[in-house]
Amino acid sequence: MTGAKMGFNTKRQTLWGWILISPLCLGLTLWVAFPMGLSLWTSLTEWDMLSKAEFVGLKNYITIFTEDELFLKSVRNTLYFTVLSVPLQMIIALGGALLLNTQVRGKRAFRTIFYLPSLIPIVVSSVMWLWLFNSQYGLINYLLHSVGLNRVQWIDSRHMVIPSLTIMNIWNVGNIIIIFLAGLQGIPKDLLEAVEIDGGRYWHKFRFVIIPLLSPIILYNMIVNMIKCLQLFVEPYIMTGGGPVNSSLSFVLHIYNNAFKYGKMGVANAMAWVLFILTLLISLVIFKTSCHWTYYEGDR
Amino acid sequence: MMKTRRTGAVVLTYLCLVSGAICCLIPLLWLVRSSLMSTEDMFKLPLIFFPKKIRFQNYAEVFTMVPFAKFYANTIFVVTFNIFGALISNLMIAYGLTRIEFKGRKLMFSLSIGTLMLPAYVQLIPLFIEWNWFGKINTFFPLIVPAFFGNAFFIFMLCQFLRTIPRDFDEAAFMDGANYPLIIAKIILPLAKPAMAVVAIFQFMFTWNDFMGPLLFLNDREKFTLAIGIRTFISTYYTPWGVLMAAATLTILPLIVLFFSAQKFFISGLTLGGIKG
């Protein structure tokens, strides 16, 4: 279709195009490019937002890696949380979706119930789980105790606090289940039937049809969730304040503390950039290795 | 042999699904149960599963202990503007990106999608500095204005949707002498209603649940939204657990009502946004 046929010449068309997407251009400048540049500049200064910023070069970056023990600890905590959460989320979501994709009764009801936790604001779920994890009066320990198991210290224990947050995080895996389920329903029936005709079992369907066709969806959700997990903040902020003994101090919580508690804007922004680069690197690694296990239709 | 294996698999499937459903529901039921109990009853062993004396007073105290009604009003105010902004800006942008051919649109689309990969929290401190320069800290502006500039997730979703509408529609309108704004308002908008409903609902959820934004930008308790308002109940000295649980229940109530009245939009939003990656 030509511009002339549309009743507009190309020049006017281009003008209208840019007018219509102008909020996007402005938004990218005001809320993405400018803040990122500002952040980069601030990360090279010493600044408490009150006095004048003082240029210090790469000093902040060196400081966080050499002098700030908590920084590396917060990185470790966050990576631990991510490495624990993302694979478990993917496996459980895939399992749930596969179960729902069989001929079960009440599919809609199950789907609704599984999705419910994803609706709950993180603040509310943090408050709720704070109470469930209570080592004396919490429901979880009460149930464990009544079936004869030992009570667990959950978020009060240095070793259990990150796994506890992981359990919380897995609780709202429902939205991924729904995404995977929709993906499963999009798999052509004849492919699955072809496996049956060839005498294949369920495993063969799973390995040679379901996983390859679902792999782009899995990849996308894996990356989105990884980015989410690396930004862990609200749960430790509300539930533990980063404790006990900083064992749930997440990367973003540490950045927040540096910026708004200690007034070290330069250091906080340097950390934010490290987080940004770290996220980028991990995404890149996942993308690069993904060509071995993802399948796109039309690719040969 | 084959038959028993089949039955076994079916039983196992239901067992997994039902136990999954129980795990999803119990924390929420426990929240509601705790919201109807006095703090003394909550701290009794053995645990009381169903409160004998139901204490509705917790719900009244939510409003007397802190300005909770104000939190509610503030949240609704911010949410309304966010939905309004999201509806206008994203439809405009998506139309421009999908239905007008001009140089640079592919690049802008990619840039927009690229922001989905940015960890949002990296920008939060500079955004705070930026709004501080504008002198708008402790106002609702930082929480509302960005919604008028489009959101990558919605743009992507609406682009997917607009591509399914035949271009002949626009063309016919041009023949009748219409211009782009008129076409968007009179032809595209009515057709895109279901997709716009998805945008509105998800924007509602994002804004209602947003914690970091209000935490950074709002200082006065009078201006708090629900998400950070809940935190005012928690203190190191004394936390009124029953009242806190009631406040939490009141916060999620509108979300649950919305979900059950518009479930199909939630599902289609999730699948549109999450599948085509």
Q: Where are the domains of chain A?
A: 1-31, 59-290
Q: Which of B13, B112, B127 sits opposite A104 (nearest CB)?
A: B13
Which residue among A6, A30, A182 sits closest to B174, beta carbon to beta carbon? A6
Q: How high is the pLDDT of residue A8?
A: 55
> Which positions in chain B touch A113 (Cβ < 8 Å)?
21, 24-25
Domains annotated for chain B, with CATH where assigned, are 57-275 (1.10.3720.10)
Q: Look at residue A1 and tell me whether its pLDDT is greater than 70.
A: no
In angstroms, the CA A95 to CA A117 distance is 17
pLDDT number for residue B97: 93
pLDDT by residue (tens digit) across B210-263? 999 999 999 999 999 999 999 888 876 788 888 999 999 999 999 999 999 988
When pLDDT is cut at 50, 70 and 90, the band that residue B102 belongs to is confident
Among left, alpha and beta (phi > 0; psi -120 to 50; other), residue A109 is alpha
pLDDT at A125: 94
Calpha distance A117→A129 (Å, rounded): 12
Of B243, B250, B246, B213, the C-alpha closest to B228 is B213
Q: How many Å lie between the alpha carbon of A24 and the closest alpha carbon of chain B?
A: 6
Indicate the residue of B89, B125, B227 with minimum beta-carbon distance to A268.
Answer: B125
Instruction: List Cβ neighbours of A32 (8 Å cut-off, separation of 6 or more).
Output: B115, B118, B123
Question: Higher model confidence: residue A225 or residue A51?
Answer: A225
**What spatial distance separates the first Cα and last Cα of chain B, rounded to whole Å?**
43
- Tens digit of each residue's pLDDT (9 = 90 or more) over A119-135: 999 999 999 999 999 88
Report DSSP letters for A141-188, one per residue: HHHHHHTTPPP--GGGSTTTHHHHHHHHHHHT-HHHHHHHHHHHHTS-
More confident residue, A61 or A298: A61
Segment B191-205 mean pLDDT: 91
Q: Residues of chain A with pLDDT > 70: what percent?
A: 95
Interface touch B25/A113, C-beta < 8 Å: yes
Cross-chain residue pair B123–A31, CB shorter than 8 Å: yes
Please report which confidence band the pLDDT of residue A3 belongs to, taking 50, 70 and 90 as the band edges: very low
| CATH 1.10.3720.10 is the classification of domain A59-290 | yes
**Cβ A39–B123 below 8 Å, yes or no?**
yes
Task: State yes or no: pLDDT of B14 exceeds 50.
Answer: yes
Q: Check A16 against B119: CB less than 8 A apart.
A: no
pLDDT recorded at residue A270: 93
A68-117 per-position pLDDT tens digit: 889 999 999 999 999 999 999 999 999 999 999 988 888 889 999 999 99
A24-46 pLDDT tens trace: 999 999 999 999 999 999 999 98
What integer pLDDT is reported at residue B137 of this predicted model? 93
